[in-house]
Amino acid sequence: MPLPEFPHAETKSLTSWSNFSGTIQKGAVPLYVTPLAHGPDLTAAGALAPQLGAVRELLRYCFARQLRLRPVGTRWSFSSIIEPDQVILDPGFMSGMLRVGPASLTPEYSAGRGAQGFAPFWICGGRTVAMTNVRLLEEGFCLQTSGAGDGQRVAGAVATGTHSSDLRVGAMHDALLGIQLVTGPDRCVFLQPERKPALSEAFVLWLSSVCGMHVQHIQDDALFHAAQVSLGSLGVVFSVVLEAAPAYRFVRRITRFEDRNDPALWRAIRLLDTGSLHPDRPHNPDHLDVVFHPYPESGKTSAWLTTMWKVPAPPVLAHAMPVPLAIASDVMSLIAGLFDALDGEITTDLTTPILAGIISDETEALYAEGDIEAYPGQLFGTNNLPAGSGASTEIITDHRDSGDLMRVLYEVLDQHSARGEHLLGAAALRFVPSTRATLGMNIKPLNAYLELPSIRNEGTLAIYDTLFDELERQGIAYTCHWGQQHGMDEARLRAWFGARVDRWKAARDALIGEDGKKVFSAKILEEVGLS
């Protein structure tokens, strides 16, 4: 059958498809559509009309035939949230970005956050976090928070609740001020909260002009908070407005612990009070995370505590942006080293001590002692994972359950290790404050995120499953990261999110209706009872 054509778009079909880590393998995808680049002047009337037109015509095609559409980011998600069906939209060239001008801001915002130095930036959904970081620095700003890598696209990162370990900001969705969604062939909306909106009517008029169609301005808490973490299922995220902070650098310090149960380490985790660990720095850090060795060796480090403070910094021009430092900011990049070290022998004859030694060596190399000062875009840098070989899950509990979470993890690791099944990675514990996003994972006042990235094998996946079941059996409430391998089902989702599940579904009904629900449906929604 001939491929359909859409204005200002490249169209092809794929014989097979997989995500970056290779956890999802699909056969043929009949239709893959990439809207082409926009012109150089982003501010001109109609500048984005061709790109938006391509998206609208693709939606018209899908709505008429009830075809499932998945917009993709960088395909970094490990979960079925990114699994396509018949049609993929690749918004990689939808990457425009501008600072929002003063006339487009409400007087309340300008007098409040604006006067404190914060600035909203309008960013199209296909732009990567890396390119966003570069542009922000050119203008003297930084993202308030991001993931520990920067390869994701902005819409993809926000759609799954991507976070780091910023103790004050929250996750990426918590810095959102507005979201532009294309919800159907002839409907485009700009959502912002009812209370204290940042963007004025002038902004939405400008957006309508640039997009060449009427963009409906909706100030509605329920819709906005649902769209903050949209799971790729509330329409196409054409653009967002993110609030950036004045440029800063992180001062990073690593503290090592031989005993993973060291009282000073657990005082830092429980109270987020690290004062006794850094008498020379009087304030508690802005960022705190801990990497745990899954198979600690006697006499060696079993936990690496990272503390980071934000310090004001001059902006640097893009051409002067230093080469990204080889500094890991979470354990993901450890996996690349492990993969090299294990070199394909991962399934045979591995013993716990050999693996433990490799993990120690790799982690020690990543978490060198001594202070480092770097921009977030340098610390949270590129992905050196080998494609097609990864696995990762991330479990979120109330911060007060951190001790139980880690206890259960070590019980499960020991149990599987006795059977010769190992996590081929490490465990990272990060902390994120509360969100208003309906399905943001961080709904408790403070949340603990336990990430377990690994080289993928049967043993790793079995460890994940046992951990999900064991947490439930021991009555420890949890949810899983939307973008990572998960153990969620309808009952588990409701146990964590409660009435938020109904609020998100109601917002979905209101935004995209029955036809839209078919087009923007996704396997993960069926798995967790959100469809």
Ligand X SMILES: Cc1cc2nc3c(=O)[nH]c(=O)nc-3n(C[C@H](O)[C@H](O)[C@H](O)COP(=O)(O)OP(=O)(O)OC[C@H]3O[C@@H](n4cnc5c(N)ncnc54)[C@H](O)[C@@H]3O)c2cc1C
Residue type, 457: N
Q: By the 8 A CB rule, do 7 and 212 touch?
A: no
Could you give the 3-state DSSP secondary structure of residue 250? strand
Phi first, then psi: what are they for 140, rounded to 5°?
90, 25
Closer residue to ligand X (CB): 486 or 492 = 486
Q: Which residue from 190, 194, 189 is spatially nearest to 222, judged by alpha carbons?
A: 194
| 127-132 own/partner pairs: CB under 8 Å, 24+ apart | 127/94, 127/95, 127/96, 127/97, 127/153, 127/154, 128/74, 128/95, 128/152, 128/153, 128/154, 129/153, 129/154, 129/157, 129/380, 130/377, 130/381, 130/382, 131/95, 131/97, 132/97, 132/242
Closer residue to ligand X (CB): 338 or 350 = 338
d(C-alpha 478, C-alpha 356), whole Å: 28
Beta strands in 211-333 (DSSP E): 216-219, 236-246, 248-257, 287-292, 303-312
Least CB distance to ligand X at residue 240 (A) = 9
436, two tokens: 């208003």
Closer residue to ligand X (CB): 185 or 296 = 185
Closer residue to ligand X (CB): 106 or 307 = 307
Least CB distance to ligand X at residue 416 (A) = 24
CA 210 remoteness from chain centre? 28
Residues near ligand X, by CB under 6 A: 20, 70-77, 81-82, 91, 125, 147-149, 152-153, 155-157, 159-160, 162-164, 231-232, 236-237, 330, 332, 383, 385, 481, 483
**Cβ count near 377 (within 10 Å):** 23
Least CB distance to ligand X at residue 307 (A) = 17
Closer residue to ligand X (CB): 218 or 332 = 332
Closer residue to ligand X (CB): 181 or 305 = 181
